[in-house]
Chain A
Amino acid sequence: MPEIKNIINGCLKGSRRDQELLYRRYSPRLYAVCLQYSDNDEEARDVLQEGFIKIFTNLSNFKHEGSFEGWMRRIIVNTALERYRSRNRLYMVEDIDRIPEPFVDPGNEDYSGLEATDLMDIIRMLPPKYRMVFNLFALEGYSHKEISKMINISEGTSKSNLARARIILQRRVEAFTGIKKKVLNG
């Protein structure tokens, strides 16, 4: 399997073969990220296409100093955020800096029965504004301050959206697990 550095150099020289090689190698993982941020498959495909075009056109800016996959992932996430921002031009986010968090039993639930496809389905059921914050905070590791700038919301809104997302996810995971157990146990 060719080294990624060689593939990148080939892409920079305009090699069609290397471009396709790079796409084939990374598109499955990046498409999963697109699905995570999109409402439907069609939108995810658009984000993937737009993101990959940016990746190829900005490839010369990659300095080989960090993870190439991480660099591509950031481009894909930013592309998804741009689409989200442009789609949500009218911001009427309620000020819910301090919402009461319902009690959720921490317990020691075993979620090992959940597969990645299940988790993806659950995450895509979230309302976009909660999903965005949860993805950026829990999966990408951004702070609330960064998230607030990325999607033009206040830090308080980011925190409250995250809290709501967690509650919804917790309930759905439990429900999912319960249903699965029932199905498996007859």
Chain B
Amino acid sequence: MGETRTNIDLVFRNGLKNYEVLPPPEAWNSIRPAIRAGQRPLLVILRIAAAAALLLSVSFFAYRLSTRVSLPEQTELAGIPDQAVLAGSPDQTVPAGSPDQAALAGSPDQAVLAASPGIQSPSVIMYPDTGETETEENNSVAKLIIAQADSAVYGELTPAAGSRIIQPVATGRTVAEMAATAPYTGIDISLQELFRTDNEEIAAENMKSLYSPAVSETGRKTGKWRISALVSPTYYTSFYSGDDEFMSRLMTDEQPGFSYSGGLALAYSINKRLSVQSGLYYSSFGQELSGITSFAGFQAYDYAKGNRNFGVMTTRGMVYTNNADVFLLDTRNENRIVTRYTRDYFDPSKADLVYVDNSLHQNFSYLELPVVLRYKLLGRALDFNLIGGLSSNILINNSVYAAIDGGRYQVGRTEGMSMFTFSSSLGMGVEYNFPGNLSLNLEPVFRYYLNPFSETPALKVHPYSFGIFSGISYRF
């Protein structure tokens, strides 16, 4: 008999060992789009985040570079070659502060720059055609102002004045005054250095103008308060800090499920760069417990009074059934289920049970109260913010279910969950400001939970998450 068994097994095993059949051509056509749609969500999110970060960084540096590199070009575009600005020869220079200097300047206004005690000018250059003077050191300032004013301030000048576009500086007006009359005020922060002056009053005024909300380059209104509505798909995962093998095995059988977070935030600007934000968020996340097969119809065989027939050990805590009709079977790791209805006692295959699902789903919902500090790294049409803060989270929903035909078959809940958890977050925010009060936000945020979700000391599993919040803000 044994020989027969071996024989027939071998006939099939050997006969079918290298058997191949070409699948129907349409099979690949169905697989191809599904692979594209089913690419690992984390990988896709990370790729998008990395691409966005790279793009923003490149744009930022390109912009910064262009503001510096383009100065000479802009000077030429303005129709004034460098030589014109630097016109004159050493012969035409006079010592700074000499009586001749004021005379060469032609007018008291024009003399401000050259004769100002705040300007360290080793020499003064005279423009033969206008009689204007300029110091060599401040040629850079002159060039800058030419560049900044080429399209705007230049228009204000009267040809009769013949003062060329050096006049804005020579008029002795502060940057704020100039900016107030010019539609373009894109003066870069780095130019502070170029406005070095010992005249503290002018310096302070110029610095003030650079950050003045009244001269915001996008024409947006800036208020102290801001309310935002934000939402984010979130990827949750966790790591285990202990060395228990069983816990490690539990973690391998748990996969993160669909998670999201969203809510309203209210921010108050402490100063131009720093703001504090709080709000109320709702977040939902879950995980799948693979290999826990559930069946319905067990109530007919269960004569116990209680509903908690099964307990399933998870890294979040113990799942207890509260549905007397459910029967659970661990098809991967038999140690996960704690029950008196073991396979020796009850065999679901011999009973009239209905198969429901081959995995359980744990779902948790939290109300989050964050306190976040937001530091503006760069404020332009696109604001770049560094975000960091803490959040206290309150567990408001905790359920475990099995999926059946698109619906949920309630199984129980996870016991031993911490009611309150605290998390820290760190992120980078990009804010696009529309003219007016509205802005669009995109904030990739990494969050780490400071205390484990479970109150059980042995379950030292620290979750962390990554989400990209997007939403709209209103300033007032």
Contact = CB atoms under 8 A, between A and B. Distances in A.
B243 to A, nearest CB: 22
B5 A152 contact: no
A120 interface: yes
A152 B343 CA distance: 10
Interface string B333-368: 000000000010001111111110010000000000
Contacts of A179: none
Nearest to A138: B9
Interface stretch (B28-36, B118-126, B203-211, B232-240): B28-36
Contacts of B1: 101, 104, 106
A119 interface: yes
Contact-residue bracket for chain B: 35 or more
A139 B34 contact: no
A87 B51 CA distance: 44
A3 to B, nearest CB: 21
B377 to A, nearest CB: 33
A82 to B, nearest CB: 7
B31 A106 contact: no
B62 interface: no
Interface residues of A, number: 57
A154 B329 CA distance: 13
B349 A31 contact: no
B304 interface: no
A53 B34 contact: yes
B11 A114 contact: yes
Contacts of B34: 49, 53
Q: Which among B13, B22, B349, B352 has the greatest number of chain A C-beta atoms within 10 A?
A: B349
Contacts of B28: 20, 23, 27
A56 B30 CA distance: 13
A35 interface: yes
Contacts of B12: 119, 123, 134, 138-139, 169
Interface of A is mostly: helix
Given A48-B27, A139-B12, A32 B354 contact: no
A45 B349 contact: no
A157 B23 CA distance: 33
Nearest to A104: B4
A152 B293 contact: yes
B357 to A, nearest CB: 9
A91 B7 contact: no
Contacts of A29: 18-20
Contacts of B353: 90-91
B23 A28 contact: yes
B249 to A, nearest CB: 16
Interface of A: 14, 16, 19-20, 23, 27-29, 31-32, 35-36, 41, 45, 48-49, 52-53, 56-57, 60, 82, 85-86, 88-93, 95, 101, 104-106, 109, 111, 114-116, 119-120, 123, 134, 137-139, 149-150, 152-154, 157, 166, 169-170, 173
Given A31-B23, A166-B9, 11 more contacts: A23-B28, A27-B28, A32-B19, A49-B31, A53-B38, A57-B38, A57-B39, A92-B350, A93-B350, A116-B18, A152-B348
